[in-house]
Amino acid sequence: MRVLFTRLSATVIVIFGVCTLVFLLLHVIPGDPIEALLGERAQAVDQAALRAQLGLDQPLTIQYVQYLTRLAQGDLGQSLQEQSSVTTLLAARLPATVLLAIAALTLAIGIALPLGVLAAQQHKRLLDMSAMTFSLIGLSMPNFWLGPMLILIFSLTLGWLPISGNDSPASLILPAMTLGTGLAALLARMVRASLLEVLNEDYVRTARAKGATEWQVLWHHALRNAWLPIITVLGLQLGGVLGGAVITETIFAWPGIGSLLVEAIKARDYPVVQGCVLLISLIYVSVNTLTDLAYLWLDPRVRFN
């Protein structure tokens, strides 16, 4: 119980720090949301009236206190560009991001787990070197390059898959491949490294001496005790993916949190930007907190310490 309270307290502190930092940065960087709403040729009187209506004419400290007060009440504010609340916009975009994250994570685990296990089993052999070469290539390809390449090959050249949007199940394939490839490469290397650390342990030799097959040794004994570093990477990556894969969603015009954040930044829509960043940080910190708690369940030594 004490560990849970400590993790939750740290989560609250991080979220508060993120909210404060985002609020200050949005008001420091160049640009005026009033000009974005009315245009540069709008009359000064109209700009002043709208600024007063939105509360942007008040001192920064008062705006900050009002923002925290609304936030404490669960009110994320109203979008400056659209006639709807920030909560409504986030609720409309979140399912698409969750769907993309689940698809990318499923693809990554489906590739990385068997690839990492086989690489560890065939250590320093051809299969191991081939798997690590694939992993290195996957890590070396950034999303902003891989995404357009996949569009060029599978959409424009072959015509097999849609270029962008979320109009059909096929629209999910290319974004999931773009997001999952790098994660699969990282996970494969982590699975291999974790297994190699435990394959020479006494309990593995004992399992082999008792007549366990190599399949049982790898999947039941070794992999079970190699999960902690793998879960660390999964927790960090899942938090980032769920928080909004900004680059991937922008490339494929995927209607998720990441693309909403980019649109709001371009429009200088303060409440939407703050809401997106708050949601992203909340998801990221929550996933990492759950990862820490998973340690306690998987490894009694962590719980004891």
The mean pLDDT value of the chain amounts to: 81
Lowest mean pLDDT among 12-26, 41-55, 77-91, 252-266: 41-55
pLDDT at 149: 92
pLDDT in tens, 171-185: 999 999 998 888 888
123 to 126, 137, 201, 202, 218: CA distances (angstroms): 8, 19, 16, 19, 13
Confidence of residue 62 (pLDDT cuts 50, 70, 90): confident
Predicted confidence at residue 236, as pLDDT, reads: 75
Q: How far is it, in rounded angstroms, from Cα 169 to Cα 160? A: 13
Question: Could you give phi then psi for residue 82, rounded to 5 degrees?
Answer: -120, 150
Average pLDDT value for residue range 269-298: 79
d(CA 210, CA 216): 11
Q: Could you give the CA distance from residue 3 to residue 13 in angstroms, rounded to a whole number?
A: 16
Neighbours of 169 (CB within 10 A): 8
> What does the DSSP 8-state code read for residue 157?
I
* 76, 53 contact by CB (below 8 A): no
Structure token digits, residue 48: 């002043």
Question: Would you place residue 215 in the very low, low, confident or very high pLDDT band (cuts 50, 70, 90)?
Answer: confident
Q: What is the pLDDT of residue 204?
A: 78
Q: Return the top range by mean pLDDT from 122-131, 205-214, 222-231.
A: 122-131
- Count of C-beta atoms within a 10 Å radius of residue 160: 11
Is a pLDDT exceeding 70 seen at residue 212?
yes
* 65-113 pLDDT per residue, tens: 888 888 888 888 888 777 788 889 999 998 998 899 889 989 988 988 8
Global pTM reads: 0.81
* Residues β-bridged to residue 78: 85
Residue 36 has pLDDT above 60, yes or no: yes
CATH superfamily of 88-304: MetI-like (1.10.3720.10)
